[in-house]
Structure 1
Amino acid sequence: MLLYIIAYDIPVDKRRKKISDLLEGYGRRVQYSVFECVLTAPKYTELKKRLKKQVVISEDSIRFYPLSSHTLEKIEVWGGLPVSQLPGSVIV
């Protein structure tokens, strides 16, 4: 499993709502248009496939940032929710 940061910019309200609802089924919202999702490789593939059906590439933008365990140790959070944890991981 990896932690993915997924950020989007969707200008159409109806489409943005569908995409945010979809992402809420895979992770948690940490900012208005940013989600943290702890996903297996098959779940990540499934999510991208489902998102691809909703996104209009000429208008929308979605970015996927996979984070390694090494990177997780260096994340700083100022306010808001703590970083999502990978199962079995400990961040000190």
Structure 2
Amino acid sequence: MYVVICYDVSDDKRRTKIHNILKSYGQWMQYSIFECNLTETQYAKLRGRLAKLLKGQEDNIRFYFLCQCCQGKVERIGGPEVRDDTIFFV
């Protein structure tokens, strides 16, 4: 599943921890936005890890799921090229 993850975390220390966790699951796109291509198991594990760090009313994380058709409709202007994390085995 392809997921865009956005977060708004008030505390610098918690925000850094969340950023570091997300770096191991996907590509950092902008300040608090990641794009991740995850299996259901990876998503469940990631969601659990992130939930443990959040403070109820102060923080929030949003998960936007994009179908394959919608992924092809993403437009980008400027910024560095998006790296391709696809691995092919022959």
TM-score, normalised on structure 1?
0.85
Counterpart of 1:76 in structure 2 is 75
Q: What displacement does 1:82 show? A: 4.7
**Contact kept? 1:5, 1:34, Cα under 8 Å:** yes
Determine the C-alpha separation between the residues in 1 that align with 2:20 and 2:83.
19
Structure 1 position 58, deviation (Å): 1.1
Q: What is the alpha-carbon distance in structure 2 between the residues aligned to residue 3 and residue 85 of structure 1? A: 13
Normalised to the residue count of structure 2, the TM-score between the two structures is 0.87
User: What letter corresponds to residue 3 of structure 1 in structure 2?
Assistant: Y
CA RMSD of aligned residues (A): 1.8
Unaligned runs of 5+ in 1: none
User: Partners of 1:87 and 1:57 in 2: how far apart?
Assistant: 35
